[in-house]
Amino acid sequence: MGKDHQKIWNSCLEVIKDNVPSISYRTWFEPIIPVKLENNVLTIQVPSPFFYEYLEEQYLDILKKTLRKEIGTEAKLEYSVVIENNSFSQTKPYTVKFPARTKSQLKNKPVSFPMESEGTSIKNPFIIPGIKKLHVDPHLNPDYTFTNFVEGDCNRLARSAGYAVGTNPGGTAFNPFLIYGDSGLGKTHLAQAIGIQVKETRPEKTVLYVTANKFQTQFVESVRNNNKNDFLHFYQMIDVLIIDDVHEFAGKEKTQDTFFHIFNHLHQTGKQLILTSDKAPVELQGLEQRLLSRFKWGLSADLQSPDYETRASILRQKIYNDGIEMDDHVLEYIATHISTNVRELEGALISLLAQSTLNRKEITIDLAREMIDKLVKNSYHEISIDYIQKVVCDYYNIPLDLIQTKTRKREIVQARQIAMFFSKSLTKSSLATIGSKIGGKDHATVLHACKTVNNLIDTDKRFRLQIGDLEKKLKI
C-alpha cells in the first residue's frame, strides 16, 4: 500500500489548493514531500522544525479533514523533519494524532528533538531552509490595489506619493512613508496597494504587511520563547515593511525599542518602511521621541474625509466592479447622506443591496431613504468640521467665509477658536486637519485655541453659557 502515498497526498493537495491563498499554497505545501503510507499513517517530509510548527498552528484543520476524507477516521500524520547544516542533514519523525495538540500546547511543547546538537544548530527558525526569501507570505489583500483606490482632493498627495514608493521602493525621499487619518478613510487600502505595486513591478523584493498589534504579539512570544534574535533577523531581512496602526505601540517601551532597531537597520540598508497611524507624528502620544523623530525623516501624508465627488466616484466604481446596475439618483442620494468615511459609505451600499435582494425589492430612492434613515438612527453620526463652522457662524451671526480669512477682529478670532475647540472634542480629525480646514492654520494654533476656550469657560460665566448653547445645537 506504500505505493499509494503519492496518490493520497495529491488528492489532499487538490482540496487544499482550493482552500488556501495561492502564495500560501506555494510556500507551505509545494515543498512537502510524501514519504510513505503505512497503517493509516501518512508520513510527509518538511524542510525545518519551524515549517512543521507553522503547519500545525495554521493548517492543521484542513490537513485533518483532507486526510480523513482520503484515508478514513483513523488517519494519522507523521512529519519527517529535515535538519540541515551545509552538507549534513538528518530527519526526525513526529506523529500527529487527530485531534492534535492545541496551539498553547504546541508552543509549550515544541517538536520532540533538540533545536541544537553537534553540527546541527538552527540559527534562525523564521527562515525556512530550501525556500527562497521571496516566498515570505506578504499578507496582502488582492482587492487593495491602486486601481480600486479612488483618487480625490482628500487623498491626492498620499496616493501620488504612495504610487511613487510602490514603483521605486527605498529609492525615493518618502522613506519612511507615513499615512495618517481617521478610521475608515483608506489607510490600510493605500498601504497594501503600495505592497501589491512592489510585488508587481519588483517581484524580487520581499514585502510584508503586519499590524502593530500582531507585531507586538510576535515580539512578546519571541521573548517568552527566548528567540528574540530570530525575531529581529526575520524583520531585518524584509525589503518593504508595512506596519499598520503604529500608534498602538504607545506605552509599549520594549516593543518600541525593538522596532527602533529594526527601523534603523532597514532604513540604513535602503529598505522601504510604510507606516499608518490615526494621527500625525506630532500628535502621537506615548511613543519615544527618538522613534517619532525618525517617523519625520520621510513624508507624512494625511487622508481626509472624501468630498461629494469622491464619494460618488467610490460608489460608481464599487457597483461597476460588482456588476450591479443602479439609478444615478439613488447613488447620488447615498453619496450625499453618508459623508463621514469610505467604510460607512460602502457599508451603506452593501446594506441597500442586501435589503433589495432579501426583500425582492427594486433599488429605488425610497428604499435608499428607508435604509439610510435606519443607519443614521441606529449609529453614531460623526459631526463634520464644516458643519461645526456653520453652526458657530450662524450663532454669532458671522458670514461663514470670514472665519477662513486672516482678519484679527476679536469676534472673528473667537468664533474661529470656538470652531476649533468643538472640532477637536466632537470629531476624530487630527489637529493638523482641523487647522487646515479652519483658516489654514497649523496644529499649534489649534492647541492654543482649545486652551483659550477652556480658560474662558472656567472664568467667564456668559461665555460658558454660550458654549453650552452651541454644544446643544451641535448635538441635536
**Pair 29, 13: CB distance under 8 Å:** yes
pLDDT of residue 401: 84
The arithmetic mean of pLDDT across residues 387-396, rounded, is 89
| Rounded percentage of the chain residues whose pLDDT exceeds 70 | 84
User: What is the pTM for the complete model shown?
Assistant: 0.51
Measured distance CA(264)–CA(232) in Å, rounded: 12
- What domains can be seen in the chain, in order of their start residue? 2-131 (3.30.300.180), 156-303 (3.40.50.300), 308-378 (1.10.8.60), 385-475 (1.10.1750.10)
Lowest mean pLDDT across 130-134, 202-206, 266-270, 461-465? 130-134
Residue 35 has pLDDT above 70, yes or no: yes
The stretch 360-379 carries a mean pLDDT of 68
Contact 258, 225 (CB under 8 A): no
| Strand blocks (E) in 247-406 | 272-277, 299-303
Q: How far apart are CA 263 and CA 272, in angstroms?
A: 9
- DSSP-derived 3-state class of residue 380: coil
All cell numbers assigned to 85: 547544516
Confidence of residue 135 (pLDDT cuts 50, 70, 90): low
42 pLDDT above the threshold of 70: yes
Number of neighbouring beta carbons within 10 Å of residue 72 = 9
297 is written with which cell numbers?
525623516
Residue 174 — φ and ψ, nearest 5°?
-90, 65
**What's the DSSP call for residue 318?**
H
Per-residue pLDDT for 210 more than 90? Answer: yes
Worst-scoring range by mean pLDDT, 6-20, 90-104, 191-205, 332-346? Answer: 90-104
Read off the pLDDT of each residue in 89-113 and give the average, rounded to a whole number.
Answer: 40
Residue 83, pLDDT score:
56
pLDDT of 161 higher than 80: yes
Q: Is the distance from CB of 182 to CB of 424 less than 8 angstroms?
A: no
pLDDT in tens, 168-180: 999 888 999 999 9
> pLDDT at position 2, please?
46
Q: pLDDT at residue 198 above 70?
A: yes
pLDDT at 242: 96
Q: Is pLDDT above 50 for 461?
A: yes
The pLDDT of residue 235 is above 50: yes
d(CA 129, CA 47): 6
Nearest 10 degrees: Cα torsion 393, 399, 405, 406: -70
Cβ atoms of 9 and 42 within 8 Å: the answer is yes
- Grid coordinates standing for 163? 504610487
Closest to 355 in 3D by CA, of 329, 335, 330, 328: 330
Regarding predicted confidence, which is higher, 196 or 427? 196
What confidence category does residue 351 fall into, taking pLDDT thresholds of 50, 70 and 90?
A: confident
8 Å CB contact between 145 and 194: no
Cell of 394: 450662524
Place of cell 499590524: 211
Segment 323-326 long-range contacts (CB within 8 Å, at least 24 positions apart): 324/353, 326/363
Per the listing, cell 498553547 goes with: 104
Q: Copy the grid coordinates of residue 439.
A: 483658516
Q: Where are the alpha helices (DSSP H) in 77-155?
A: 103-108
DSSP, collapsed to helix, strand or coil, labels residue 405 as coil
Stretch 368-389: mean pLDDT, rounded?
Answer: 68
Does residue 102 register a pLDDT over 50? no
Give the pLDDT score at 71.
87
Report the pLDDT averaged over residues 114-136.
39
CA atoms of 155 and 344, how far apart (whole Å): 17
How does residue 474 score in pLDDT terms, banded at 50, 70 and 90? Answer: confident
